[in-house]
Amino acid sequence: MRNTVIAAIAILTISLMASYASSDISDVERDARALELFLQDRQDYEKHCPFRTWEQPDISVYKETLASHLPEGCKE
């Protein structure tokens, strides 16, 4: 259920963000994209590399960068 909700949020967010450059988006859109990246990083970490030590950055870091913060090798 939780993964389904995360996937739905991700799809919605990606579809909303597809036509915008990161510098041309509203605060709400930036927050939504940051949340999607934050949750995706958490899910990818648990799925692909739970054996590695990783401390997830605060959501504010994701809002600034709009990028994944997983260590190398933790994504497919």
Confidence of residue 39 (pLDDT cuts 50, 70, 90): very high
Q: Which domain holds residue 36?
A: 2-65
The CA distance from 27 to 48, in Å, is 31
Higher-confidence residue of 75 and 21: namely 75
Residue 14 pLDDT > 60, yes or no? no
Report the residue count for the chain.
76
The CA distance from 28 to 36, in Å, is 12
Confirm whether 74 is domain-assigned. Answer: no
Residue 65 pLDDT > 80, yes or no? yes
Q: In total, how many domains does the chain have?
A: 1
Percent of the chain exceeding pLDDT 90 equals: 61
* pLDDT the model gives residue 20: 46
CB neighbour class for 35 (10 Å; exposed up to 12, middle 13-18, buried from 19): middle
Confirm whether 75 is domain-assigned. Answer: no
